[in-house]
């Protein structure tokens, strides 16, 4: 049965207490999607500055960028001659996030470090 449980952040890590073998932890959070346009390329002023002498650069072009979270999932127009399918990430555009099954080690007890607010390192055994 799904039920919310209290969580504690330790730096960049999220801790969940009182887990048992075969428990499943699901973390949900809102995912922002944005689409906007940007000019990509070196403007004429930069091409004529002398710094880029001898090099050729394409004219700036307007691109439409579609982000989901911090991931660029689509860009248009596409360069059909490009050898790699860059930013073609349809699997990330779905509502359901692709899942990956992993095994994690969970210690059978919590080590109480000296000086933390939960106790001291007198015993590393369960209380």
15-45 pLDDT, tens per residue?
Answer: 888 888 888 888 877 889 999 999 887 666 6
Please tell me the predicted confidence (pLDDT) of residue 121. 44
If DSSP codes are grouped into helix, strand and coil, which group holds residue 93?
A: coil
Stretches in the chain below the pLDDT threshold 70: 1, 42-58, 114-127
Q: Give DSSP secondary structure letters for 47-60.
A: HTSSTTTT---PPP
Please tell me the predicted confidence (pLDDT) of residue 80. 77
Q: Closest Cα to residue 3, out of 22, 26, 21?
A: 26
Please tell me the predicted confidence (pLDDT) of residue 107. 76
């Amino acid at each position: 049965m799904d039920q919310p449980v209290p969580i504690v952040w330790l730096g960049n890590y999220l801790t969940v207490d009182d887990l048992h073998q075969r428990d499943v932890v699901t973390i949900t959070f809102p995912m922002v999607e944005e689409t906007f346009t940007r000019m990509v390329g070196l403007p004429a002023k930069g091409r004529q500055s002398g710094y880029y002498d001898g090099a050729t650069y394409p004219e700036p072009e307007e691109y439409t960028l579609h982000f989901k979270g911090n991931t660029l999932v689509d860009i248009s127009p596409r360069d059909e001659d490009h050898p790699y399918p860059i930013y073609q990430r349809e699997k990330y555009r779905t509502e359901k996030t692709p899942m990956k099954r992993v095994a994690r080690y969970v210690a059978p007890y919590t080590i109480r470090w000296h000086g933390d607010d939960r106790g001291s390192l007198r015993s590393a055994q369960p209380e």
